Amino acid sequence: MYKIAPSIISANFAKLGEEIVNVLASGADIIHIEVMNRHFIPTYRNGSKACAAIRPITQAPIEIHLTSGYNVEHSLNDLVPEYAKAGANIITFHPEAVDRDAYNLPSFENIERIIDLIHEHGCKAGLAFNAGTPFSYLDHVISKVDVVLIMSKQTGLISGQKFIPEAINKVRLARKKINDSGRNIILEVHGDVNLGNIAQIAMAGADTFVIGAALYEAGNDNDPNCYDSIIATLRAELAKVSS
């Protein structure tokens, strides 16, 4: 079953609670929260306080996407417990965020260690891949990871980026690796996912779609829950793939 994960970075923060209630009542499945630091993105937003505020509102899964690279001031060793305590169900991180090896590259062992840390705190563990991030990191931990997130825009650049077409091939390759593993791993795509490309992304093998502006900017005050029409239209596009 396909799942829709609204990214609250595009929601109206002046009425965030209402936005969460409405988007879930309209048929969304997962709440996606991006946490940003000074490596990929200049400032923090949508932190653990937002997660903790959302948690009492819904039983829906909350995914924390740590859109960060290596940062000694904000280590994953500290962030993982913080967001687990705040109520996250899924914590997804980039290989670039872990401690380095002797060659100043992300360490395979440290990626595995962070996945174990996430599991120890009762959450599912996700690994996120930018366009240039090699899948060798996935190969090392595919027996442990629960979510693979493919970025179809460049993490950290300004909003409004267009979908990176090459991401489709990355989704196909990820789907093959997941199928070959025999494990039930979520394959998620994030970055300018919209009505015009969601079916193509699904055909490539994705099952979960992080959607920001294309969802929140299409809200309709005439809908009972504001987002009923846009989510129904997104699901109609996905139904074309299923049929």
pTM: 0.91
pLDDT, tens digit, 9 for 90 and up, residues 167-223: 999 999 999 999 999 999 999 999 999 999 999 999 999 999 999 999 999 999 999
Domain total in the chain: 1
Please, which pLDDT band fits residue 107 given cuts at 50, 70 and 90? Answer: confident
Are residues 234 and 242 in contact, defined by beta-carbon separation less than 8 angstroms? no
- The residue segments making up the domain with residue 155 are 3-242
| Residue whose C-alpha is closest to residue 41's, from 71, 64, 79, 11 | 71
Q: What is the pLDDT of residue 237?
A: 97
Are residues 150 and 137 in contact, defined by beta-carbon separation less than 8 angstroms? no
Are residues 220 and 22 in contact, defined by beta-carbon separation less than 8 angstroms? no
pLDDT, tens digit, 9 for 90 and up, residues 113-155: 999 999 999 999 999 999 889 999 999 999 999 999 999 976 6
CATH number at 170 reads 3.20.20.70
